[in-house]
Structures are given as C-alpha cells and as structure tokens.
Structure 1
Amino acid sequence: MRRPTRASKKANQGVDPVEKTPGLGGGNLPGTVELQEHSINIITMGDFAVDVEITSRRLLKCLLMLRQLRRLKVALISIAILLAISGVNFFHSNYVNKYSTASEKDLDVKVIDRVDPSADQNLRIHQDVTPERNEWVRQYRIREEPVSDDHVDIIIPWHCENNDWIKEIIPEISSMSTIVFLLKADPSDLSKPECSPDLSETSDIETFYIILPKKGPDIQSLFSFISNNYNNLATYTMFLPTDYPWEMSEESMTPSTAKNVSHAASINTAVPLALHSDVHSNMTFLPMMPDTNNEFIDHRTSILSGLIHTNLKIYDRVNAAYKHLFQSNAYSQEEYPYVPTIQFLVHRDEILNRPLNVWENIEDICLECYNFGTSMVFLIPNLFNPTEKMTQFIFWGILLRECN
C-alpha cells in the first residue's frame, strides 16, 4: 500500500459522486471523501440511494412487525413460512450504491439507508427511500486492497476528545499503523468546534475520521469497522477505548495496573510487540488490561449469576445473547470472562474465521437493540474463538423480539 505524502497539510474536502458539499468545519453534512494520498481523511455521509430487493424488504418489514407480537411461537412459525416461501435471508439484503459502476457492484459494494435518528421509527430500511432520508452511509473502506504484512489498524471510538497525543507516536510505529477514529454524530455535533479535527496539522501516521450514525453503543462501531473492511484487514486490528487505555509493560504484553497519560504509550509498546515479538507473534487474540497474579484479568473479571440484582440483570442479558448466538449443550454459563474497556488486538485470521454476514448481522442487531450491543462486550472472547460454533441466523431474530 502506498504511504501518504506530505505534499499537502490539508485533507480533501468531501466530494460527492455528483456534486460537492460543505466541509466538516461548517457544521453541515460533509460529502464522501475521495481517498487520496493525504495523512488525514474524513469519510462521512453523502447522497446515496439504496436499491433493496423487494422481497427482502417485505420480509424485513414483516419481521419488524412480528417483533411487536408477544407470542414467540406465532413469530417463529411465521418467519419460518416466509423463509420457506422466499428462500431469502432477510437479515442479509443486498445494498447497492446507486452511483456504483458495474465493476463496483461485482465487488459487492454495500450501502445501507440510515435515516435521521430523530425521525427513525425503528424501521431501518424503508420502501420510500428518498435522498433526504438517506443520509447515513454504511459502506466505507479505509483501503482498496489488502495491506502488506507488519501492519496494525488502530480503531478508537471518538467523542470529540483532544487527539494531540497522535504526535507522540514514534516514527517506527507510524510506518506500520493506521489510526481510525469512529465518531457517532448528528449535524448538531458536527457544528461543535471540538468535533472538527484540525486538518492543518497532521502526524506522519495515516489517520481517518469516520462519521457514523448517532445510534447504538460504542461497541457497534467495532463491528461496523470489521464488516466494512473485512476483505482488506491489516495483520492485526487493535481496539482501544475512548478514555485512557491501560499501560503496557515494555517487557511483555502483560499490562500493569497504572493508566497511561495518553493512548500513544500503549500504541508505541503494543504494536511492535504484536508484530515482532517472538513470544506474541503467534498469538491471535491479545487482551490488554490490568493483570492479577501475572494472569490476564479477562479470566478473573466476570459476570456471575449469583451477584447482586444489577449484575444479575446484566448476566441475564449476556446469557440470552449467548444462547441465541452460539451452539452449546448448556444454554447458560456460570460466568462469562470478558475484556474490560474493549481493549485488545486480534489477528485478521480470527476475524476471517467468521463469515462476513456474521459481523454484518451483529452490527445491525446492535443498532436495533442497544442492550444487545452492551451484552456483546462480555462475549468478545467467544466471537474471536473459532471453536465457538454459531447458530443459524433464524434464531437471531429472537434477540430483536426480546430486546428491552
């Protein structure tokens, strides 16, 4: 992959396939950026339309209507009949950018109708799609071809915090990393000065700011990145929390109990260890968090079924998500180990072990059901464990019905 040049200190303003639109600093919805060789890129909303297969559209509408029913048997039987008649998986409709060329369609470009959150009536896909309602673009790619080995994509949910720490990343890291900030925003957010990244000063590391719908929990951004960049992942994808990550030890991948002054220290330590350490180069899932007795705390910090009411409610939600997503002889577990603050590196092979539509469907359910999204925080180790077999998508619809 070609590295960005330093010829210009400014990123391109958004250029729509049809017309130019205002830039980020003005507070209006920017257009989709044409990715060129610059250090900072902004991928935002543009004028797209969606061509949804009519049968799939009707099936999804029926599913969302059935979601309101209180009788599970009626819903399941009806869904089964619809599937048998159509042979279409309504969890995975085909979305096509109306400006796509024939070759782009062959690449299965996917654009989804994201309505204005204030007007959203829990129907994510509408038959009466108009440009005014079709503001949110699902499909974004940070690169057009697979990146070479020895590279890490660093994904950070962003809430307009100060990002001056990027300048502290050492040059050796800049050549082997890409930073992607995912901002859930609406037009009112974009009008705030702190939500307009300073494009006049860039670092040497390739950086993207991607604006997503202001809907769903932060973990949905994780699945959004995976589903949109599935075919062009780096060797590792590193997920960091919005606030300060845990400090990494320079001797090993085991974190200490102290927190960093900034994200830069974690990145400067973790990226070389993941790519070049003999100890960790063969690992596929690297949780980064405080350790207890020299063991990763992900096997010690758990949601137990016997805890107080608040935690028990969380446990029930996690257990419900687990039993509908994964094949297991036991529909419940005593505990669910998890990664606090969603801070880990994962090898691309572990992501590719799951089909693309798994990540797309999880992303979509996170958008429809906030509580499901928060439950997925506790199932991250399961998702990246290839020995955990997943159920058929027909059972996933129950998660929507039981959303509360």
Structure 2
Amino acid sequence: RAGQRLYAAGETQLSAIQLPVAPDEKPKVAWEQPVPQGVQRLLAADNKLFAVTLTGDILAFGAADKTIKPEPSESQVLSVPDSQTVKLANALLIEAESDRGYVICYGAANEALFDALLLNSKLQLIVIEESRDKIARLRARYDALGLYGSRISAHQGTPDSYQAPQHIARLTLLSNAFAQSLNAEQLQQIYRSVRPYGGAIWIPAPGQNLSEKLNRLVQESDLARAQLKTTSNGHLISREGALPDSADWTHQYGDIANTVKSNDKRVKLPLGVLWFGGNTHEDILPRHGHGPPEQVIGGRTFLEGMNSLSARDVYTGQVLWRREFEDLGTFGIYFNSTYEDTPLSTQYNQRHIPGANARGTNYIATADEVYLAMQHECHVLDVKDGATKRIIKLPDSRKE
C-alpha cells in the first residue's frame, strides 16, 4: 500500500486499487497493466511503482503518455569448452554421483570448467573469489548468458571469510592459487560444507609434492571420515559415509526391530536451521490422516504423498526425484472422504483418523532400495532415481 492505493501483483498482471476515503465508498480498480513474468516485490517511490521479478528484472510504472518497451538484449549462448575440459567435468560429475545439487568453487580462474559443468548437469555453482574485479566480470558474463542467479552466483571472499552452509556441497573445486596457499584451518572450513556420503573436494595439478602436502593437511585437520586419493585429473578429498554418531530412521518405528527410538547421538542443543523453503507441501499426506513418518537413510529422506513418493536431500531439502502412481491404495487409510484441498484455510482439511498408527507404514527404506506396498504387490524402487527395479507379487490365493 502507498497512499490511498493498494497494489497487487500476479503472474501476468499488475493492478492498482483505489481505496475508499469515506465509509460508504467501495474500492475500485484504478488501472491494470500486463507484466511479462511473475512479480516478486513491489516498491513505491518517486511517484513511481517499481516491480521486481524473480529473474532480477525491474519494471517501472508511472504517469506517461506511452509505454516504453524494454530493449531486447542480445541473446548469448554458452559455448562448448574444449574436449579435455568436458572430459574433466564428466569425471567430476561421476565423483559427485548426481547432476543436481551445489558446487562451491574457490577461485574464478577456471571458467571453462564452470561452463562444462553448467552444460552437462543441473548443478548450481557458487564461486568464491577474493578479487572484486574478477567477481564483477564473472557476474556480468553469466548474467548476459541468462545463467546468473539461477545456475551460478559469485561472492567476494576467501575460505576464511566465506561461511558456506554446512554439508551443502556435492563438489568443491579449488583453483591452483588456492591449492598452493591452502592451510589446515582453511581445509577444515572448506570440509565443513562438504556433503556426507561421497561429497568431494577437487584439487588440480597432481604431483608428488602437492600430494604429500595434502596428506599432511588432512592429518592435521582431523577431518572425520575423509579419504584422499590421487587421479590423473588431480586430487580428491572425499567425505565417506554418514556423519559420526548420526543414525537412520527406516521403518514406522525407527528400525526393523520397531524400537521406537533413534540411535542418533549427534544432534544436540542449541538447534539451528539447516535449510528452508524450495519445496511444496502439496505432495505430502495430510498430517491429520496420520500417514507414515518420513524415513531417512543414506543422506536421503523419503516422503509419501496421496499417490506419490519422493526423495529429498537431507542436507539441502532439494527434491532428488518424485514418482507419481496411479493408485497407492492410501485412500481410506491415510486420508479419506473428509479431506479438502484447502491449504490456505485455517480449518482442518482432514478429520483425524488412525492412519499408520493402526495400519502401519506401506513403505520402508534401505541404503539401496525402497520397498513400497501397493495392493497385492511390493514395488522395489532404486533410491538414486526412484525407478522400479523389480516387483514382488504375492501368490494368487484363488489358485491355491
């Protein structure tokens, strides 16, 4: 609201509503303007209305005789790097074991490698560089390519000053300059953001001297479950397996023994936020239907929806995969006819029913597979992509 007007933005339109001054007056639409994409923020200043889109475009509205159309920018396309760089990028993607997630890059020297990763994956790159000029040039280049903000971002800093979120990075790339000056304290800080279950730090320029230095730094830094290996492409420091003292939750009541407890010894007060946002709640069973709890193993959390099952990255909340099924058989068990699809209502959208408290869970998770019961079949899904590996069928009792 600004003055006597209320401004509202939607996906395709911006509206100005004149608010009433007298009690007997009614609000009325003063004007409407189309917008090219969804508006995220509105600001009123200098007798103008500024609308900011998710991609960073700023639209200005004010009193004018005619509408000024934005000048189209020259379209640029990311060019394919040389074959050796593409080969290196593919090797790093194999180490990451996923083409999604986050990559932290210390040093802006290897733009060709950034390009190859952007072209051959859906990874999001975070570049940390000490030079302000290099940061500005990097931002301008990828902004012109339409990739800045959505696939790559650049921040001024060093391993000492940049506080990356914990366990976020599937890959961490060090430039030669960073690798040569690396010390134990910096390696500890960098390793803090490496994702468990195989996240890796890549250091270029393989060589005996650097290998000995890295081996010494790994020992001095006391990095939990770190493994150092040397390849033809450089050195890799990987974080293998789970975090120390962490535990899984793989059944309705914790584990196959139904102990109704967690063996986790790592989580302690004070607690903080690891990640938030980014996901919809629409593919999750209504809580008053008391469906099965989420199950966690191998850095993935599995959640059931009305007729879906999805896997999320425990450390970032990112959706790894989602499978939609024709009929999971959840109706009448985990939700019923009292369910109403009204997420914004303050009323309960599902009456309380026993759900999994009576029926139990219809799926369990292991390190490699998810077992999902559907009618008279058990579908075995791959934890990596949700693909069906096999179907276990019960004998037909009518033929016995």
TM-score, normalised with respect to structure 2: 0.27
Which of the two has greater strand per residue? 2
TM-score, normalised with respect to structure 1: 0.26
Kindly indicate whether structure 1 or structure 2 has the higher relative contact order, using CA contacts under 8 Å at least 6 residues apart.
Answer: 1
Rg comparison, structure with higher value: 2
